Chain A
Amino acid sequence: MAQFNPTDIETHEFDVIVIGAGGAGLRAAIESLASGASTALICKSLLGKAHTVMAEGGIAAAMGNVYPDDNWKVHFRDTMRGGKFLNNWRMAQLHAQETPDRVLELEEWGAVFDRTEDGRILQRDFGGHRFARLAHVGDRTGLEMIRTLQQRAVSLGTNVFMECTILSLLQDDSGQVVGAMGYWRETGKFVVFKAKATILATGGIGKSWKVASNSWECTGDGHALAAWAGADLIDMEFIQFHPTGMVWPPSVRGILVTEGVRGDGGTLRNSDGKRFMFNYIPEMFRAETADTEEEADRWYNDKKNARRTPDLLPRDEVARAINSEIKAGRGSPHGGAFLDIYSRRTPEYIRRRLPSMYHQFKELAGVDITAEPMEVGPTCHYAMGGVRVDPDTTATTIPGLFACGEVAGGMHGSNRLGGNSLGDLLVFGRRAGSHAAQFATSASAPKASESQISQIAKEALEPLNREGGENPFDVLHNLQDTMQDLVGIIRKESELSEALSKLDELEERRKKAAAGGNIQYNTGWHHAIDLKAQLTVSKAAAMSALARKESRGGHTRDDYPARDDEGFGKINHVFRWNDGTATLDPETLPQMPPELAELFEEGTH
């Protein structure tokens, strides 16, 4: 029987700990160290394997290298419109203002971006962005970014704790967060990190859906850790279904196909060969979207005299359109839409611009994208909602706790534009590192409670000590089916209510899950533990989705198909977790100052 010996626990102490080592966590750790704080970086996988590595298209930054007319105000406007005005305006502003510097900083640290003819950083077109704005490296920008940040963090001497899963935050009597407790995946032994300031940078929640682009790590740990500690989560109903995931063969269903395919000239077609996106241009984007194929194709090279192709509408619009075409019986043979670049660009161009897409389809699907169309369909990709933070400092509603990157909410409103996540990681990762280090200078020595530590250990060991319980993999697969079927791309009241009761049943089953085998690198045990966070976060998503009786961005209600700008359009949903009881409250959205509101007055809102 696995037992916990409190006298034998490994303990570390730092000024700042960062949980998660994707783009946001790495950037936060670099800044925290540079600010003079002793810093630890803790991650579930090996360093450099986090989900950021899969980002493809690029980093949106108004550098104006390709279109000098671009500036932060245009980027800010695009971001707010893409998010259907539910974004925290201040986060969107800071993001648009600071991304160009963050990109140049990556170059100084060794990133090698694709170049313009005159030797500057090249920028590509992407959905919802008025100008070609994404700094990129082919279609493997995330790899470039994570490797650059990883090498920078290592060269600065960051303390890295790999393959370590955090179970819970630690809090003192006042509720202040004073570190975190976790276990080593390799040995199963517990470890305590005492810290004056703690940064959550744990990424997304997509692994609770069956068809998802996310890696196994995206189990919403940070969202749940924050909620359990009493922090607010906002906007959890908004889940981005990326329009283009692979659909065939079944084993690769959901793997991402970059928006860069459309940015570089690809177009969506239905089974009749028709470019159906022209039928799905919403009123809000009509004035700036091409309405003929001729104009759309001209736009790639002439932004002044032609309007953008509807293939590059924001992701929520494109995902719903593909979903509708499939439902109307105009899908591809394996239940997707066709994505065609082969008939529009030369093989050399495709291989140079999209090398990993070429490789991925060739190796995994036996499809040559320079000679035939891809089949694509929506895949669960990104959580817009997350931990509520102060826009300038990334401080959560609990003292000592900060959050940045995908785990933080607000920046993207109801729908994130492609290219805005990598910028988000850099801008708010840096801010988190800086403000956490600053907070640590005035915080007293962290005092963790021994009874809390014992309680965390006891609960974590339960699946190992239980005889003949449920297979954790079965509970996980049932959760993924539930979220896919009932809290998916199109939602309705009856299904969301059913999801909530199923989640309660799954929570009971989780508490009976048993992991056979010993404590060392035991995947069944790891899943049994991850499920706790997944179920809390899934409940937050389902509750928030049930309460929002409108359709907006990454939340589409079959029973409330319209946007309700005067009602739900003015509120955030705040999810809280009080000793196992979940509550949801509407709160008024922060209002942007007049000088920013003016940017939206010309043309359509």
Chain B
Amino acid sequence: MASNDQVTVELWRGDGKEGQFVEYKVDAMEGEVVLDVVHRIQATHANDLAVRWNCKAGKCGSCSAEINGKPSLMCMTRMSTFEPGTTITISPMKTFPVIKDLVTDVSFNYEVAKKVPSLKIAPPGEDGVRRMYQKDIDRLQEYRKCIECFLCQNVCHVIRDHEENKKAFAGPRFFLRFAEMAMHPLNTEDVRTAAKDEGGIGFCNITKCCTEVCPEHIKITDNAIIPMKERVADVHYDPIRWIGRKIRGKK
């Protein structure tokens, strides 16, 4: 897109009860991203337009929305990716209730976060040092790139079209946390049962939608969910452990 082109944006405006797409025609400058155009609409056409953002550099995960139906960060979607002359639609994330315009109620995620168990790190060794080796933490560091944009939660069809599943399903973002605890070289807390019972990891049927939308390119399904499912299966579907649980009366 050349400098100072005018673009047409269909922006969803409304609150939790009602709303509609409203058309705006604004300038887009060279190198701009969708969030720049939304800010220009805000400054020149609609001062009261509601949108979340913080860093504008893909690091905070605040400006999630659906752009032409595709769940994305507005700050990392360049205007040059659209054909000149086409209309761009921007709507709020679908899985979460709308508060106003592009702002949704993502409190579901913060409630789930309260239920995720905490790590318990082993004490330092005899020389007073906690040692971990880079090769053993590369995988954890991949999980910890998560910026909590909640696009993976938004696109996960276990909850996207099934509000009722939200009470029993933590979602891909939090499977990263379970996986992290399970693979942390110094963690002493076993989270496999919690991943199954509180997290509902069994509901995931590995369609990889979460991986496709992750702006940090974390391989959520292959590198976290599947290995975590295997670990849960090890403890819960192992016949010897099953007999043991029957005898001790544990789940």
Task: Report the nearest A residue to B77, measured CB to CB.
Answer: A363
Q: A137 contacts B49, CB within 8 Å?
A: no
Tell me, in angstroms, the Cα distance from A473 to B39 when the chains sit together: 10
Q: B42 contacts A114, CB within 8 Å?
A: no
Tell me, in angstroms, the Cα distance from A517 to B114 when the chains sit together: 35
Query: Which of B124-132, B200-208, B229-237 lines the interface with chain A?
Result: B124-132
Which A residues, 270 to 313, have Cβ-Cβ distances below 8 Å to chain B? none
Q: B144 contacts A217, CB within 8 Å?
A: no
Q: A250 contacts B31, CB within 8 Å?
A: yes
The tally of CB-CB contacts under 8 A between chains A and B is: 166
> Is B51 part of the contact surface with A, judged by Cβ < 8 Å?
yes
> Shortest CB–CB separation between residue B14 and chain A, in angstroms?
11
Contact of A364 among B49, B62, B76, B144 (CB under 8 A): B76
> Is A349 part of the contact surface with B, judged by Cβ < 8 Å?
no
Query: Which of B53-61, B83-91, B155-163, B191-199 lines the interface with chain A?
Result: B53-61
Interface size class of A (residues with CB under 8 A): 35 or more
Contact of A473 among B47, B53, B57, B99 (CB under 8 A): B47
Given A120-B131, A521-B101, are A49 and B144 neighbors across the interface (CB < 8 Å)?
no
Question: How many residues of chain B are within 8 Å of chain A by beta carbon?
Answer: 56
> Is B145 part of the contact surface with A, judged by Cβ < 8 Å?
yes
Contacts of A50 in B (CB 8 A): 54
Given A137-B144, A364-B33, are A154 and B58 neighbors across the interface (CB < 8 Å)?
no
Q: A521 contacts B60, CB within 8 Å?
A: no
Q: Which of B31, B44, B101, B121 has the most CB of A within 10 A?
A: B31
Given A115-B133, A252-B31, A363-B78, are A215 and B56 neighbors across the interface (CB < 8 Å)?
yes
Q: A251 contacts B113, CB within 8 Å?
A: no
Query: Which of A32-40, A143-151, A541-549 lines the interface with chain B?
Result: A143-151
> Shortest CB–CB separation between residue A380 and chain B, in angstroms?
15
Contacts of A45 in B (CB 8 A): 52, 54, 62
Contacts of B131 in A (CB 8 A): 118-120
> Is B106 part of the contact surface with A, judged by Cβ < 8 Å?
yes
Q: A471 contacts B47, CB within 8 Å?
A: yes
> Is B22 part of the contact surface with A, judged by Cβ < 8 Å?
no
> Shortest CB–CB separation between residue B138 and chain A, in angstroms?
10
> Is B141 part of the contact surface with A, judged by Cβ < 8 Å?
yes
Tell me, in angstroms, the Cα distance from A27 to B88 when the chains sit together: 42
Q: B144 contacts A248, CB within 8 Å?
A: no
Contacts of A54 in B (CB 8 A): 55, 57, 59-60
Q: A46 contacts B141, CB within 8 Å?
A: no
Tell me, in angstroms, the Cα distance from A477 to B47 when the chains sit together: 14
Task: Report the nearest B residue to A249, measured CB to CB.
Answer: B31
Contacts of B48 in A (CB 8 A): 515-518, 522-525
> Is B137 part of the contact surface with A, judged by Cβ < 8 Å?
yes
> Is A498 part of the contact surface with B, judged by Cβ < 8 Å?
no
> Is A84 part of the contact surface with B, judged by Cβ < 8 Å?
no
> Is A365 part of the contact surface with B, judged by Cβ < 8 Å?
yes
Given A472-B47, A523-B42, are A49 and B132 neighbors across the interface (CB < 8 Å)?
no
Q: B54 contacts A112, CB within 8 Å?
A: no
Given A54-B59, A119-B131, A521-B101, are A154 and B78 neighbors across the interface (CB < 8 Å)?
no
Q: A522 contacts B57, CB within 8 Å?
A: no
Contacts of A154 in B (CB 8 A): 113-114
Contact of A51 among B15, B47, B54 (CB under 8 A): B54
Q: A147 contacts B47, CB within 8 Å?
A: no
Tell me, in angstroms, the Cα distance from A144 to B143 when the chains sit together: 11
> Shortest CB–CB separation between residue B90 and chain A, in angstroms?
15
Residues of B within 8 A of A (CB): 15, 29-33, 36, 42-44, 46-62, 76, 78, 99-101, 103, 106, 110, 113-114, 116, 118-119, 121, 129-134, 137, 140-141, 144-148, 184
Question: 22 pairs across A/B with beta carbons < 8 Å?
Answer: A49-B60, A114-B141, A119-B129, A119-B132, A120-B129, A120-B131, A137-B144, A147-B148, A151-B118, A154-B114, A162-B110, A215-B53, A215-B55, A249-B31, A251-B36, A355-B145, A356-B59, A359-B58, A360-B57, A363-B78, A365-B31, A474-B43
Q: Which 9 A-B pairs have the closest CB atoms?
A: A249-B31, A517-B48, A524-B47, A119-B131, A521-B50, A473-B43, A215-B54, A521-B100, A522-B48
